[in-house]
Amino acid sequence: MKKIFIFYSLIILTVFGFIYGCSEVKDNVVMAPTTSFHGEGWLNPASTNFHGKTIAADNWNPGMCKSCHGADYNGGTAQVSCLTCHENGPESCNTCHGNDNHIYPPKSLFGNTLNTQTGVGAHDKHMNSDTTQRFTAVVECEECHLPVSSFSDPNHIANTNSTATLVFGNLAKTVTEGVTPNPTWDKGTQTCSGTYCHGNFKNGNTTNTANFITPNSAGCGTCHGNPTTGNPLPGGTHPQGWTLNKCYLCHGAVINSAGVIINQSRHVNGAVDFGVNN
Ligand code: HEC
Ligand code: HEC
Ligand code: HEC
Ligand code: HEC
Ligand code: HEC
Ligand code: HEC
């Protein structure tokens, strides 16, 4: 019994001494950390400690990491390069919004990917590079946002609430005979009203509003013509009595005899094309 007691006491002393000895050298020797510098979840987008969330919480400023990871994000004193995962650097335009094909959402800032979700909405409908996905000209970013030429452009991340700034460009303000648009964005209802593009033009449906997160709310007939039947024939002083398959007689550069828009870049571009065929 006594022998066993001594035996265990020795073990305890040895272990304790070992720990004590270790903690003594800790001050002088850099140890391999048992947990990583940034803690659990730093690389897991689902974690509350995810590095992207830390950056978002600092108003989306990846520059906060430069002191240790280098001015060029390529390692620095931490010797961990951001470029291992963010091939073109963390400030490249699709790191926080967009995807491999484009920089507009989806994905949105907080990861939304559906066109029925805020932040994503109808971006694709306005800008898809595939012409079969649009029946209008491509709408450039600066027609709805202030122009952003680089990550640190003062127009970019201009506010602190993780919300894009809607500032309309020239297209939405195009003046036609008797109609001066007053484009307005209502974030609460996610609607645009008073825009040239969606009906504020001569003989257009001037009271029409477009909902950014309701797909198909801007179908044929909503901006000009009859929203119920989908017939796009404008009212007012526009020549009356024509059907969809006859528009081409006067607007042949834009639409064909099947009623299909054949030149998207000339539709909703700010100019009426009639009497021209190319
Ligand atoms: C005070 C210095 C310091 C700052 C500031 C800092 N880091 Fe680090 N980071 C380190 C060190 C040291 C390591 C390497 C040790 C480690 O992996 O735990 C590291 C490792 C990493 C890793 C690799 C982690 C792993 O598990 O492989 C990532 C990713 C990272 N940091 C991202 C960031 C981001 C993003 C920021 C800014 C929000 C940032 N760091 C700010 C010091 C820093
Ligand atoms: C080991 C891989 C890895 C490293 C290293 C890494 N990241 Fe990331 N980072 C990711 C992943 C994964 C995402 C999430 C991508 C997504 O959700 O589409 C991400 C997202 C981000 C985002 C977007 C945040 C958001 O919420 O959308 C920023 C900004 C970012 N990282 C900055 C950095 C910086 C700065 C460093 C270096 C200091 C760094 N990252 C190093 C993997 C990494
Ligand atoms: C037709 C108008 C329009 C065009 C063109 C447009 N946007 Fe947007 N954008 C919006 C609207 C509307 C919102 C939603 C604002 C809100 O809900 O706060 C938005 C939001 C955003 C957001 C914030 C997303 C979020 O998570 O809240 C980003 C980033 C963005 N746009 C980038 C772009 C870029 C980049 C382009 C050009 C490639 C572009 N947008 C073109 C209308 C547009
Ligand atoms: C670190 C994350 C991050 C990166 C990288 C990033 N953005 Fe953004 N971007 C944002 C945030 C956040 C917003 C919302 C605006 C705000 O918060 O004021 C935004 C909004 C925008 C908008 C809408 C206009 C606005 O500022 O409201 C455009 C256009 C845009 N970004 C273009 C770009 C371009 C071009 C690049 C590459 C040069 C880029 N972004 C890289 C985070 C980022
Ligand atoms: C007989 C010739 C003719 C036919 C057919 C015709 N248009 Fe037009 N359209 C015009 C002319 C001319 C203008 C320019 C009127 C102006 O500037 O006041 C015009 C202008 C427009 C405009 C701009 C709004 C306006 O009234 O100025 C729209 C939209 C339009 N047409 C759509 C259509 C559609 C859709 C069809 C077929 C359903 C169609 N048009 C058939 C001659 C025609
Ligand atoms: C988003 C609003 C909108 C929708 C939806 C829309 N149009 Fe238009 N359309 C316009 C505007 C604005 C014009 C004025 C001329 C311009 O800017 O191109 C126009 C003009 C036209 C014209 C006259 C030729 C020209 O100059 O472009 C034709 C034809 C036409 N639209 C047919 C159609 C057809 C067919 C549909 C349904 C497939 C349709 N539109 C849906 C906004 C719209």
Q: Are 224 and 203 in contact (CB under 8 A)?
A: yes
Q: 60 lies in a domain? A: no
- pLDDT for 30: 47
- Tell me the per-residue pLDDT of 105-155, one tens digit each, with 9 for 90 and over: 999 999 999 999 999 999 999 999 998 889 999 999 999 999 999 999 999
Find out whether 195 and 208 touch, Cβ atoms under 8 Å.
no
Instruction: Please determine, for residue 185, whether its predicted confidence score (pLDDT) is greater than 60.
Output: yes
Instruction: Please report the pLDDT score of residue 34 as a whole number.
Output: 54
Of ligand 2's listed atoms, the one at least distance from the Cα of 109 is: 27
Tell me, yes or no, whether 205 lies in a domain. yes
| The two three-digit tokens of residue 110, written as one number | 């907080």
* Cα–Cα dist 6/2, whole Å: 6
Q: How distant, in Å, are the alpha carbons of 22, 49, 57, 165, 256 from that of 162? A: 47, 19, 9, 10, 44
Average pLDDT, the chain: 89
- Indicate whether residue 247 lines ligand 6 (CB < 6 A): yes
Residue 194 — pLDDT band, cuts 50, 70, 90? very high
Query: Is 32 inside a domain boundary?
Result: no
Residues 247 and 229 placed together within one structural domain of the fold: no
For position 276, what pLDDT does the model report?
Answer: 66
Which residue from 145, 153, 149, 154 is spatially nearest to 172, judged by alpha carbons? 145
Could you tell me if residue 249 is inside a domain? yes
d(CA 100, ligand 3 centre) in Å = 17
CB 199 within 8 A of CB 224: yes
Mutate to test the pocket of ligand 3, among 127, 145, 193 (most ligand atoms within 8 A of CB): 145
Work out the burial of residue 115: count CB atoms within 10 Å of its CB; fewer than 13 is exposed, 13-18 middle, 19 or more buried.
middle
Atom of ligand 4 nearest to the CA of 145: 24
The pLDDT, as a whole number, for residue 133 is 87
For atom 5 of ligand 2, which residue has the closest CA?
82
Q: What does the pLDDT read at residue 35?
A: 64
- Domain total in the chain: 2
CA of 117 to the centre of ligand 6 (A): 26
pLDDT computed for residue 131 by the predictor: 86
Alpha carbon of residue 93 to chain centroid: 10
200 is in which domain, residue-wise?
168-233
**Residue range 77-84: average pLDDT?**
98
- pLDDT by residue (tens digit) across 224-238? 999 999 999 999 999
Same domain? For 220 and 252 the reply is no
**Arithmetic mean of pLDDT, 241-256:** 96
Query: Is 219 contained in some domain?
Result: yes
Q: State residue 29's pLDDT score.
A: 44
Q: Using CA atoms, how far apart are residues 147 and 160, in angstroms rounded to an integer?
A: 18
CA of 138 to the centre of ligand 3 (A): 14
Say which residue, 258 or 18, is predicted with more confidence: 258
User: Percentage of the chain surpassing pLDDT 70?
Assistant: 86
Closest CA to 220 of 261, 270, 176, 275: 261
Residue 84 lies in a domain: no
251: CA distance to ligand 6 center in Å? 10
Say if CB 104 and CB 123 are below 8 A apart.
yes
Burial class of 177 by CB neighbour count within 10 A (0 to 12, 13 to 18, 19+): exposed
Residues 185 and 227 in one domain: yes
Residues 174 and 229 in one domain: yes
> 266 C-alpha vs ligand 2 centroid, how far in Å?
40
Closest residue to atom 40 of ligand 5, CA basis:
247
d(CA 190, CA 65): 35
Task: Give domain status of residue 195, yes or no.
Answer: yes
Task: Write the pLDDT tens digit of every residue in 213-227.
Answer: 999 899 999 999 999
Is 214 within the bounds of a domain?
yes
Q: What is the mean pLDDT of residues 269-274?
A: 96
- Report residue 208 as tokens: 């029409």
Distance 205 CA to ligand 5 centre (A): 14
Q: Do 248 and 221 share a structural domain?
A: no
| Among protein residues, the one whose CA lies closest to atom 7 of ligand 1 | 68
Do 221 and 255 share a domain, yes or no?
Answer: no
pLDDT tens column, 88-108 = 999 999 999 999 999 999 999
Cβ of 197 less than 6 Å from ligand 6: yes
| 36 — pLDDT class (breaks 50, 70, 90) | confident
